Structure 1
């Protein structure tokens, strides 16, 4: 089994960091820093808690004067690149939030983000003063470095995974839209992915805003079209009619359903958590003109309390001739994941075409045996 991500923060990492700091700041106590950071309950701390422990310990062992401490980090940051060094932006978040530190902190976040990422550290500043922070984001959106431009978008996402939510933009995303306008044709895929994710976040609370934006943006630039497609992915999964039409998915027609026949089967029909099943499907498309179709299967997963929640899995997305007969198979694994735990019970599986249910079946998921292995 792979080591948990938090294991990257260990004694070796701390001593290496301490040695780098000591080389430019001779008063730095590497042994004391390492021991203090790893004090109990270090082993129980998860990733973000370890990161914050290291940050706070840096604050104890670096000079108390914020600008002086930043200058020490600046002196070594060229050798501190990658995910573990999120502690540098985190230092800004923890110790640079005072009003008198604003300019210093903005410069530090801009400097550190290409070496790790300041997307999490910037959010408390956004929560404290969203108007001022959005002005800064608009400046960053024109920065020559793609990492800084990405920070402008990623830092303003209403629902950033692992990051603090931004309720102000969940309620009203309008301040974010001018920023996304600046970045909608960015040459960097790294930036475009962030813009698309920002749109997708907004779509969860304000679908009409994203639909209107998609209509305005689509068809003007190949980079923008990529953003529109990926930014509307949640709306496509929900088969929002306006979005399905925008992307050319075939609608139902009066007296001529899109799918004239369909079947879905799961084998075996009884299995245990940790097993896998084979899904087979077949369907026939109505006669006539070629149509664009999106084929998915959905599973109504049983939750801990007995209720169900549907998750969709993409099978195919393409244009096919009218009258096509399509079939396929997919292996689905029922092992627990970090993002999904399985519970015993009857599970309904549904075949969907352009968001409409076409066929269904069910299977019985049983518990693992007492030793945790499957039978």
Structure 2
């Protein structure tokens, strides 16, 4: 029988063996830790729980097994941060703070600042923002100036209006103005980890308030490499739409005086598990050099037979007057958790500076290729 080499499910990172190991760490920190009670609660119905449900179950189990008041329990939880292995176990420590520490925000937010280097506290801080937006943001603005990149990243990631895997912060969805000082503080951050978070936060805001984002970054120092990187990635949705304001901010030309020639998509019919190659030549029709953002769109067939377009970044190029540039890209067609493929004709479009310039198609069949 061949070995199963598939990756384990994410939820299985919190398993009975790992729970027993974690219990040992807590018992070492405080001998009165009730190991039996912790494991009984943590493992009850574990198989049926998702990863985030398991995270919360660990938090609940700690509250049952640790002795003393919340403040006394919290001291042990914070000390456990460097000892536990695995980001999701450390997220459970943050979940403990969010679940049982809302009545003591000063102590709890200090704990999240200490815990976040070991397992992001971006989800744990959000109940505090929902409870007291202004007060929590005041604390987070101080985090934006912390020496530790994990704490600075928590400052921007935790208050993203539309953070994935979490609830929306509706007041910030409606009006992102309270985020302006924090994001401005981080606009030149030296850490890519932090810059990516700032860009994602701004990209969240473009979904509801693109004009606000353009006004906010209008006076940022775009000659600074870190600042320019954030703006480019923050405006990625607007760049894909061909918004001329976004294109100007990243130095792209207004419009696109080009022709897309010899577009081919091969094979014309492909089985699930295979890939297609997209080939074309980009030829300048302009009398001067152009800075061009080249993307492509795949119109994926949905279960109901309709098409859903997905824009993929290809490259940004500087094309001299009259020059031609061959472009090649391969696209894998495999099922993932985030995308399931369906049979049918998939249209492909080439976009330059947000303008659709040429199109073709391939047909996908569900006769999956043998491994």
Superposition map of 1:285-296 within 5 A: 285-296=284-295
Shift of 1:142: 2.2
Runs of 4+ in 1 over 6 A off after TM superposition: none
Shift of 1:220: 5.2
Report what 1:23 is aligned to. Answer: 28
1:263·1:359 contact (CA, 8 Å) conserved in 2?
no
Shift of 1:341: 1.0
1:183·1:192 contact (CA, 8 Å) conserved in 2?
yes
1:213 counterpart (209, 213, 216):
216
Q: Does residue 226 of structure 1 match 2:229?
A: yes
Shift of 1:107: 1.3
Residue segments in structure 1 that go unaligned for 5+ positions in a row? none
Q: TM-score, normalised by structure 1?
A: 0.92
Whole-angstrom distance in 1 between the partners of 2:272 and 2:219: 46
Shift of 1:64: 5.3
Whole-angstrom distance in 2 between the partners of 1:59 and 1:151: 24
Compared CA separation, residues 231 and 166, structure 1 to 2 (3 A): same
Q: TM-score, normalised by structure 2?
A: 0.93
Q: Matched residue of 1:6: which SS?
A: helix
Shift of 1:269: 1.4
Whole-angstrom distance in 2 between the partners of 1:216 and 1:307: 42
Q: Matched residue of 1:168: which SS?
A: helix
Whole-angstrom distance in 2 between the partners of 1:10 and 1:58: 16
Report what 1:70 is aligned to. Answer: 74
Deviations 1:219-266 (A, max 9, x none): 3533222221221122111111111122222223xxxx6123523211
Q: Matched residue of 1:265: which SS?
A: strand
Report what 2:195 is aligned to. Answer: 192
Deviations 1:51-94 (A, max 9, x none): 11111111111125101111222333332354131111110011
2:277·2:330 contact (CA, 8 Å) conserved in 1?
yes
2:59 counterpart (52, 55, 59):
55
2:37·2:64 contact (CA, 8 Å) conserved in 1?
no
**Count of paired positions:** 365
Deviations 1:186-214 (A, max 9, x none): 23332222111111111111111111223
Whole-angstrom distance in 2 between the partners of 1:183 and 1:123: 20
Residue segments in structure 2 that go unaligned for 5+ positions in a row? 1-5
Shift of 1:323: 0.9
Report what 2:3 is aligned to. Answer: none
Q: Does residue 96 of structure 1 match 2:81?
A: no
Q: Matched residue of 1:175: which SS?
A: helix
Deviations 1:301-323 (A, max 9, x none): 11122222111222321112111
2:34·2:66 contact (CA, 8 Å) conserved in 1?
no
